[in-house]
Amino acid sequence: MKVPPSLLHLYAVTDRQWLHGRTLESQVRQVLEGGATIIQIREKCLGDQEFLQEARQIQATCREFGAPLIINDNVEVALAIGAGLHVGQSDTACREARRRLGEQAILGVSCATVQQALEAQEAGADYLGVGAVFPTSTKLDADWVKRETLREICQAVSIPVVAIGGISRENAATLAGTGIAGVAVVSALFAAPDPKAAAAAFSQIHY
């Protein structure tokens, strides 16, 4: 399996709105020190050159910790540095992304239904991001996914599933038993006063 479930246990998704004078690379380093197992850079406002420069810096940090780096919805940046890619239902089509990236790159796809999950798997996805499993302030238009639907998706596919959306230290453990490999976390890590401690707390949870 290209993406062992253990690599998806704590999937940290960046958001620069909480930098507060810190660099994104320093925050990524903190969450990796705390136990994050994979990093996704999500940048909706940076130009390609700025994004590329940032991605190269963070990729070097990820390599120190043996953590894969995933680029959100920018196949050009992913190709330029040899990183993985994550696409949404409305982003670059999974099949086209796989064609451009080749078979070796990690490719993740967002989905909210069993049908979407099966289609993504057939099109070449290596893992799925399923959500939003809880209300989330970082993606107000996210589809709502019930616990039962999350469990059905996990049962329907043979690739690992990560839950995303509104996940906090307080509610993460309630996802145990659904079949997920791990959780994707944004604000509960990057908005935390101590991202390393926040990551360490998440890393102790079993699903």
Q: Which residues are catalytic?
A: 42, 110, 139
CA 162/CA 109 separation, integer angstroms: 10
Token pair belonging to 74: 């920018």
Token pair belonging to 85: 């890619």
Q: Are 26 and 39 in contact (CB under 8 A)?
A: no
Give Cα separations from 31 to 10, 58, 160 (angstroms).
Answer: 10, 12, 22
CA 1/CA 109 separation, integer angstroms: 16
